[in-house]
Each structure stands twice: as C-alpha cells, then as structure tokens.
Amino acid sequence: MNRYKFSEEEVPYGTLEQFGLTREMVGDLPVDVLQAILSGRRSPVLPIRADDSEGNTIHARTRFSLVRREDGTADVLFYPVLVESRLERFSDEQKQRLLEGKAVIAPMHGDNATPVQAFHQIDSGTKQILSVPTPVIGRNLQIIADEFHLSTAEINCLQVGEPLTVAEGDDLMTIGIDLNEPTGILVCVGDGVQWKQEAKREWDKYNFGCFGCWVADGEGGLDYVHEDDYTEEMWNELKRSSQRRMQNANTPKM
C-alpha cells in the first residue's frame, strides 16, 4: 500500500519553479523531508523569489505543502514567513502562552458561521498560527493517556499546552502538543528541555544533494547553494562526509 498522499510524478514542479524552487533544488532536499512533503506535510522554511507586476524581483521565505484540487490534480499551498504573528483574537494570557511556544484552546472560525474549539500554536519558522480542532487532538491525547496511564490532572496539563514528563520504566518520557507533528503530539525520551530541542529540528549545517547543497541558516530554515558555487569549506565537508559513508559501508555488521 502506498503510504504517501502524492507520488513524485504529481509534484507540480512548474509552479514551484515560478517561485525559484527548481526540480533539482527540491530533489536535493533530505530524503526524510521529501517523504514528509509527499505525505502532505509542510516543507522546511525555504527561500523563494517572484516578479511583481512592475518587473521587480521579490525575495521571501516560506514553507509549502502539496494539496489535492477538486479535479484530483496536485497543487502547491505556500505558508510565507510573517513579520509577526497575528494574535488579535486571543486574550493577553493566551498571547503570552503562544509567544512561549505553547498551545492554547480558543474558537476557530471555519467555512461555516459556527466557530469550533481548536488548539492553536505558533509555527516558530513562519510565525503563522497553526490550528487543529480539539476533537482531533483530543482523540490522540486519549490514546497517549491510555498508553502512559495518565491521570485526569496530567491530561488537563497537556490540554492547556504544558509538556508533561512521566517515568516509563527506567526512562523519562516527555509528552506535549506540537501541531507541527502529524498527530499533533510529540513524545520523546528525556525531560522538558530535551522535548523542546526535539520540537525545534536542528539541521546539519550542510545537506548535500546531487546538484547542490541545502545550508542551514541557524534559524530552522535552509538556503540553497549550487555545486558551482561551493566554498572551500563546503568542498572539504563534502569530502569528509563521503569518507565517512565509505567507512560505514566497509564496517562489518555484527
């Protein structure tokens, strides 16, 4: 069974190229990132460019995801980086919690006139507000609660956006709402500090592909450097990473 929502042949490269993301650039993204994109998840924050009506080139940064149109074809949805998060509809207390990276529960206005309760959280990469209806996350929370035998007080802790650390055998496990995750919940080994580090993905500085390299910008985003423009440092790192792969391939498995 195909576990991806989209096949590679469906990716609308023509649309992406209009915004400066060539087929080679997309193909050079790390394998796990490509798999996530084909699964319908959002990309890392990437650089794009486009020309306005006066012929000026506009540079920006954005995430993107693949979406299915009514006719069944694949299209692209962009999530541009905002200067600041739009928090007007939240109370002062909720604003503070959101700015701390926590999730809050507040009404969400969908396609119909009736608002629904939803979890909201700021995507630190774009400063956009992520929103998921509470029944969706609530169902997943109940599964986690059953697995870890959580009390009502512990479940309430998670519902108000606080990560929860519990003992699981000899290990500490931390659970918390992270709307960037497919399930809306991130579970990791370790305490709250390790949970926060896990929630904020740290890229390798250099992520080499076939035609170029995605370089981490230090803020969770990536910039692309074509092979023709590699610096001496990048060539040296490419050589070292190639040597490491060869050593690993030649190491006998126990």
DSSP string for residues in 59-77: EEEEEEEEEE-TTS-EEEE
Do 191 and 154 belong together in one domain? yes
Residue 248 in any domain: the answer is no
Number of domains comprising the chain: 3
Range of weakest confidence among 134-138, 154-158, 231-235, 248-252: 248-252
Do 208 and 221 belong together in one domain? yes
Q: Are 176 and 148 in contact (CB under 8 A)?
A: no
* % pLDDT > 70, the chain: 94
The pLDDT score that the predictor gives to residue 3 is: 53
Q: Are 159 and 96 in contact (CB under 8 A)?
A: no
Q: Which domain holds residue 113?
A: 92-129
Do 5 and 73 belong together in one domain? yes
Residue 102 in any domain: the answer is yes
Give the separation between CA 128 and CA 149, rounded to whole angstroms: 34
pLDDT at residue 244 is higher than 80:
yes
The pLDDT score that the predictor gives to residue 197 is: 80
Do 13 and 48 belong together in one domain? yes
Backbone φ/ψ region at 155: left (φ over 0), alpha (ψ -120 to 50), beta: alpha
- Could you tell me the pTM of the whole model? 0.81
Mean residue pLDDT across the chain: 90
Do 123 and 158 belong together in one domain? no
Cβ-based neighbours of 178, under 8 Å, separated by 6 or more: 121, 184, 185, 186, 199
Do 139 and 104 belong together in one domain? no
- Mean pLDDT, range 71-100, rounded to an integer: 93
The pLDDT score that the predictor gives to residue 4 is: 65
Encoded amino acid at 227, one letter: E
Do 16 and 62 belong together in one domain? yes
Residue 96 in any domain: the answer is yes
Give the separation between CA 153 and CA 135, rounded to whole angstroms: 19
- Mean pLDDT, range 197-204, rounded to an integer: 78
Residue 57 in any domain: the answer is yes
Angle at 248 between CA 213 and CA 204, to 5 degrees: 30
* % pLDDT > 90, the chain: 69
pLDDT at residue 2 is higher than 50:
no
The pLDDT score that the predictor gives to residue 254 is: 54
Under the banding of pLDDT at 50, 70 and 90, the label for residue 236 is very high
